[in-house]
Amino acid sequence: MSALSAAVSLPFQVETLKENGLNIVVVPLRNGSNVIETDVIYNVGSGDEKMGKSGIAHMIEHMNFKSTKNLKAGEFDTIVKRMGGVDNASTGFDYTRYFIKSSSSNLDTSLKLFADLMGNLTLKDSEFQTERQVVMQERLWRTEDNPIGYLYFRFFNTAFVYSPYHWTPIGFHSDILNWNIKDLKDFHKTYYQPTNATVLIVGDIDPKEAFAKTKKYFGNIKNKKEIPAFYENEPDSDGEKVVNIHRYTGGLEYLALGFRTSKLSDKRDEAAKYKDKVVLDVLGYILGGTNSSLLDEKLSDELKLTSDISSFNMKLKHGGVFFIIATMNKDKKASDAKDEILKVIQNIKERKISEADLDKAKAAINARFLYSFESSSKLAGIFASFIGGADSKDVDVSLKHLKNYIKDVNSVNLKDLQDVSDYYFTKANLTTLTMSPKSNSHKEDE
């Protein structure tokens, strides 16, 4: 058995608490490291927000490190540091993830802290008002003062019109200013419930102990209300969307180009749609996933148009985007880069791509997976991305896809690349944003 096959065959175990529907996933490494990572993954992100309340999932993430009925603000971090651990969190479109990396002997402390956040968060208005300013500053440096961040935000504003994917997790500036503490309490009460969460424990731990202790701390937390169903209303795209932005960029042009990869009109079964996602992952590596990818070789090495170019398949629970983003070299045009990118994509559609390019992409994906198995933290990140991602409605389906992912990747052939490219990489699905340096004749974009 290869190292990779052995890794993917790790004996992870899953249990759902009958008391409240909490999912528990344990991945025992038994490597003698005495290191574990404990995660809590909530199936909620910016994709669950409403227009006018954007960014609130991210704000809740910040507030989760404030006071509870048992802890003062900041005490969570103090306890974790005192035991030699590290904690952090992140908010995405579809899920929010909290983690503590610690020694195996501190599992009790990690679980107790996370259970306290789920069941006893106080959400004080005074703490909220202070933290809102922190989030505003984060938005400033992530989006307003960052050309790539701003382009990324504006891309989703353009590609999606009706769905909550119209904004990224940081939210709109005006919405951040207009939230109130009741908004936060309602959101937390709705989505921060056991039935909407998974506790993930990865590392040097005995599964029986992990399940028993998780049940001890989380088993008595009650669900408070029914989680609303997502109303999917983003219509199929019926034509290319093009936006030209003018901002202070340091004299460089930038390009964001993406194809939407889901359609309301697509009535195929979930298995067929999932296979497409795997093929799109492979295409992401072929086109711009490595330093020797097709786009990097053509646009950066040969034509000297770009200083940086990358592509990736963004799998979303209620949609998806195949995304290409590039920074131009000085005095080079984003429009020229777009033309060359579309030529490379056309070559794939016409099967003007070698088996060697496909094999190189597969090898890169295999290597990334192998690398993730080197530590509990990296491995937890992979598991969390499947548990909270596009298939998060069913943890068993998510983990089945994870278990079979490398096999599915390695089964992709050239015809798959052509078929999927033909289906998704069309003008109707395309959104293009260019950003060029602002001149005196242009007013600053809001």
* Mean local confidence (pLDDT), 176-190: 97
pLDDT single digits (tens) 303-331: 999 999 999 999 998 889 999 999 999 99
The residue with greater pLDDT, 432 or 7, is 432
Question: How many CA atoms lie within 13 Å of 187's alpha carbon, on the beta-carbon side?
Answer: 27
Same domain, 114 and 171: yes
| Count of structural domains within the chain | 2
Same domain, 307 and 195: no
Check residue 245 and give its pLDDT.
Answer: 96
Check residue 391 and give its pLDDT.
Answer: 63
Same domain, 208 and 257: no
Check residue 7 and give its pLDDT.
Answer: 46
Residue 393 has pLDDT above 80, yes or no: no
Cβ within 8 Å of residue 392, ≥6 positions away = 43, 94, 95, 317, 398
Asked whether residue 446 is domain-assigned, the answer is no
Distance CA 200, CA 314 (A): 23
- pLDDT confidence band for 9 (50 / 70 / 90): low
Asked whether residue 256 is domain-assigned, the answer is yes
Average pLDDT, the chain: 93
- pLDDT confidence band for 390 (50 / 70 / 90): low
Same domain, 145 and 285: no
Distance CA 112, CA 71 (A): 11
Distance CA 421, CA 431 (A): 16
- pLDDT confidence band for 3 (50 / 70 / 90): very low
Distance CA 97, CA 198 (A): 10
* Mean local confidence (pLDDT), 374-384: 93
Q: Of 203, 218, 233, which marks where a domain is finished?
A: 218
Distance CA 59, CA 44 (A): 12
Least confident interval from 4-18, 162-176, 409-423: 4-18
Asked whether residue 308 is domain-assigned, the answer is yes
Give residue 89's identity as a one-letter amino acid code. Answer: A
What six digits make up the tokens of 337? 């880069």
Distance CA 47, CA 323 (A): 18
Percent of the chain with pLDDT over 90: 83
- pLDDT confidence band for 379 (50 / 70 / 90): very high
Q: Of 156, 187, 218, which marks where a domain is finished?
A: 218
> Which residues belong to the active site?
61
pLDDT single digits (tens) 75-96: 999 999 999 999 999 999 999 9
Cβ(221)–Cβ(412) under 8 Å?
no
Asked whether residue 224 is domain-assigned, the answer is no
Check residue 318 and give its pLDDT.
Answer: 86
Number of H helices, E strands in the chain: 16, 11
Residue 89 belongs to domain spanning? 8-218
Question: How many CA atoms lie within 13 Å of 3's alpha carbon, on the beta-carbon side?
Answer: 9
Cβ within 8 Å of residue 301, ≥6 positions away = none
Same domain, 47 and 80: yes
Asked whether residue 1 is domain-assigned, the answer is no
Distance CA 188, CA 72 (A): 19
Check residue 392 and give its pLDDT.
Answer: 58
Check residue 440 and give its pLDDT.
Answer: 52
pLDDT single digits (tens) 54-74: 999 999 999 999 999 999 999
* Mean local confidence (pLDDT), 274-288: 96
Longest Cα–Cα distance in the chain:
67
Same domain, 39 and 166: yes
CA-to-CA separations, 20 to 122, 198, 214, 387, in angstroms, rounded: 21, 12, 12, 18
- pLDDT confidence band for 284 (50 / 70 / 90): very high
Asked whether residue 229 is domain-assigned, the answer is no
Residue 23 has pLDDT above 60, yes or no: yes
Distance CA 435, CA 49 (A): 28
Same domain, 210 and 252: no
Same domain, 312 and 388: yes
Same domain, 356 and 207: no
Percent of the chain with pLDDT over 70: 95
The phi, psi pair for 295, rounded to 5°, reads -70, -40
Rg of the chain on CA atoms, in Å: 23
Cβ within 8 Å of residue 175, ≥6 positions away = 52, 53, 54, 55, 56
Check residue 31 and give its pLDDT.
Answer: 85
Residue 388 has pLDDT above 80, yes or no: yes
CATH number of domain containing 83: 3.30.830.10
Same domain, 202 and 254: no
Same domain, 190 and 246: no
Same domain, 103 and 171: yes
Cβ(89)–Cβ(61) under 8 Å?
yes
Check residue 442 and give its pLDDT.
Answer: 46
Asked whether residue 228 is domain-assigned, the answer is no
Check residue 88 and give its pLDDT.
Answer: 97
Asked whether residue 442 is domain-assigned, the answer is no
Nearest CA among 41, 369, 14, 309 for reference residue 196: 41
Burial of 426: CB neighbours in 10 Å, binned 0-12, 13-18, 19+: middle
Secondary structure (3-state) at 371: helix
- Element holding 244 (H helix, E strand): strand 241-247
Check residue 2 and give its pLDDT.
Answer: 47
Beta bridge partners of 369: none
